[in-house]
Amino acid sequence: MKTRIALVVLAAAILCYGQNQMQVEVGMRPGSSRQAEPARKATPEQLERGRQMLQVAEAQAAGLEGGMRSYALLQVARAYQPTDKKKALALLEDALAATRAIDDDSLKTRLQLQKQILQEMVPLAPNRVDELLTEVEAQARASVLNSLLSYYEKQKELGHAVEVLYRIAQESEMPYGAALRVMQALPPERAADAQQLFAVSLASFQDHKQSGGCMGDCDFVPLILRFWTRVPKEAVLDAIHAVLKDARDSGQKSSISMASDQGAVAFNSLYEFRLFQVLPVLRQLDESGAKKLLEEYQQVQTLLAKYPQGTDSLQPPDAAEGGRDRRPGASFMVSNDGPGGGGRPGSGPQMPAPVEMQQVSKIAAEAEKNPRDALANCAGISNPNLRSQALLMIARSTWKNDSSIAREALQKFMELNPKLEIAQQVMSLSTAADIYLNMGETDDAKSVIEKGLAAAESAYKKDSNADDPNKALKAYWPSAEAYRGMLRLAVRISPVWAANLTKEISDPEMKVVAQIAMAASLLDIPTGSTMIMNETKQGTSMSMSMERRD
């Protein structure tokens, strides 16, 4: 089956779509002073109403069963966390207990809930999380250990962070992005620890198949690119050869594109892409070996002549030096057709061209300085999803200093939105409504929210279709996220209006999760990460989103 894999960074969201789904990563250039949203300080009346709604939602959550009970208690706990940590922890314990009654499915609902619950516990009681790790499935432990690792990173407890990294590597694959951050944070006198972490990361990479190349925090290659001057030459060469062997042995045909306002590249295989990444380092350590490889791959040789630092040439300078590969500012997309494939040709959304990905990056970079030009350039983007992202970026960048441009961008976006997939419609409409609220355009925001709720209802009909229902947990349905997102915004305009809108939600369980979201919005609780799942006859998909608050 054909699989499309990608990442997205857009305004206030980070998404990853899986099987038979596609998303595009388009980021704001680091250093770009995108207008921050105004601080939303809840009034005493809103806080009191939020607390009342939360108490009602807590009682309703306790009356749910199985996975929905666990999910609802988790969300209520998140809302209590800032003001009543003891109660939040107790609710999380109840939510974890509720997962034990779930019969796990092909989407591993129990596993996902256990991970989310324990990750939410980490800042409240890290020692308790450590105790509970033995009670959850092994697959959940690695993600929770990652959360513990992030906690210790933030607390500057590097000794604990290194210890957790080694624990993860014993149970599963090393989280290379986290290892990179810890290695960067280690002081010069702990250089031996950094070298040991590199060695353990290399061993972990060699022990785990990469399934055709993992990108992001699970990618080992950035460790080579950032630390090749700080570890022994022999170890770096071993790592480069291991990466190239893994790419060669993957047996997957891949179409890989990378673009930023610095340029754009495209490759026909993972092996060519890996060569492009590591050849600049290999040239420094083994010039003859690098030359031999380049002679076999003319396309890579041509691209390296134009971009001599490989992927770093496409990164803004601070991203290339800052230790994170593919930070916002670069777009990245992979389409894999692996062994045993057989996906229908043309199934799924069309992959955008690298030149259009680069164009969107340029629009994002110039949106503040030359907003009129940026807006005009959107017309040249044929991919509807990319163009909608570009228009929303412009609106985000200009709503405060040039509201006329922001309104024009939003108007063009609204005309384009019906052409998007229903899940993309709802996510994008939520962003548009949020911008209108920031601008003080309440009537326009209400209009967008109403359109968003209509789209949510369409999504619900699709999720609950008796002939081909979404078998995922209802709280993870696309329609559930649509209702949550729209009603979180609606309640900011008027709690009474928002409450009336919930009357249109016919599903009692869906209504409960929406009411929890409304209470959290009144209490100004960030949405945090959300999960969206689909399991139908058409295939299975999963996405993760995370709010970014400026």
- 418 or 252: which carries more pLDDT confidence? 418
Residue type, 100: R
The confidence score (pLDDT) of residue 43 equals: 82
The confidence score (pLDDT) of residue 547 equals: 53
Span 172-177, average pLDDT: 86
Report if residue 220 sits inside a domain.
no
The confidence score (pLDDT) of residue 502 equals: 94
Task: Tokens for 523, please give them.
Answer: 């209490």
Span 184-198, average pLDDT: 93
Helix, coil or strand: residue 319: helix
Report if residue 530 sits inside a domain.
yes
pLDDT one-digit tens code per residue, 290-336: 999 988 888 888 888 898 888 888 875 544 444 443 333 445 454 44
Report if residue 413 sits inside a domain.
yes
Span 113-141, average pLDDT: 87
- In sequence order, which ranges of 378-523 are alpha helices (DSSP H)? 384-398, 403-416, 422-438, 442-463, 478-493, 495-502, 508-522
Torsion of the alpha carbons at 106, 109, 110 and 112, rounded to the nearest 10: 120
Alpha carbon distances (Å) from 281 to 215, 262, 310, 417, 425: 19, 20, 9, 44, 43
Reported as a pLDDT band with limits 50, 70 and 90, residue 538 is confident
Question: Is 90 exceeded by the pLDDT of residue 14?
Answer: no
Task: Tokens for 25, please give them.
Answer: 């990563």
Reported as a pLDDT band with limits 50, 70 and 90, residue 37 is very low
- pTM value > 0.85: no
Share in percent of the chain as helix, strand, coil (round to 5): 60, 10, 30
Which residues make beta-bridge pairs with 420? none
The confidence score (pLDDT) of residue 500 equals: 95
SS (H, E, C) 484-514: HHHHHHHHHHCHHHHHHHHCCCCCHHHHHHH
- 341 or 405: which carries more pLDDT confidence? 405
The confidence score (pLDDT) of residue 210 equals: 58
pLDDT one-digit tens code per residue, 346-368: 334 455 677 777 788 888 888 88
- What's the rounded Cα separation, in Å, for the pair 28 and 401? 18
pLDDT one-digit tens code per residue, 372-421: 999 999 999 998 988 999 999 999 999 999 999 999 999 999 999 999 88
Span 341-350, average pLDDT: 39
Report if residue 518 sits inside a domain.
yes
Report if residue 422 sits inside a domain.
yes
- What's the rounded Cα separation, in Å, for the pair 113 and 530? 11
- 38 or 450: which carries more pLDDT confidence? 450
Reported as a pLDDT band with limits 50, 70 and 90, residue 32 is very low
Question: Is 70 exceeded by the pLDDT of residue 344?
Answer: no
Q: What is the CATH number of the domain that holds 496?
A: 1.25.40
Helix, coil or strand: residue 57: helix
- What's the rounded Cα separation, in Å, for the pair 2 and 198? 34
Question: Is 50 exceeded by the pLDDT of residue 184?
Answer: yes
Other beta carbons within 10 Å of 342? 7
Domain count of the fold of the chain: 1
The confidence score (pLDDT) of residue 352 equals: 65
CB distance 235 to 289 below 8 Å: no
pLDDT over 70 percentage in the chain: 81
- What's the rounded Cα separation, in Å, for the pair 352 and 233? 39
Reported as a pLDDT band with limits 50, 70 and 90, residue 18 is very low
User: DSSP letter string over 117-167?
Assistant: HHHHHTTT-HHHHHHHGGGS-HHHHHHHHHHHHHHHHHTT-HHHHHHHHHH
Report if residue 440 sits inside a domain.
yes
Show the CA angle centred on residue 546, arms to residues 494 and 126, nearest 5°.
Answer: 110
Report if residue 403 sits inside a domain.
yes
Cβ neighbors of 321 (< 8 A, separation 6 or more) are none
Domain hosting residue 467, numbered range? 354-546
Alpha carbon distances (Å) from 520 to 4, 29, 297: 34, 31, 55
The confidence score (pLDDT) of residue 372 equals: 94
- DSSP class of residue 43? P
pLDDT one-digit tens code per residue, 484-507: 999 999 999 999 999 999 998 999
CB distance 374 to 394 below 8 Å: yes
Report if residue 97 sits inside a domain.
no
State the DSSP H helix or E strand holding residue 3, giving kind and residue range, or none if neither: strand 3-10
The confidence score (pLDDT) of residue 316 equals: 57
pLDDT over 90 percentage in the chain: 49
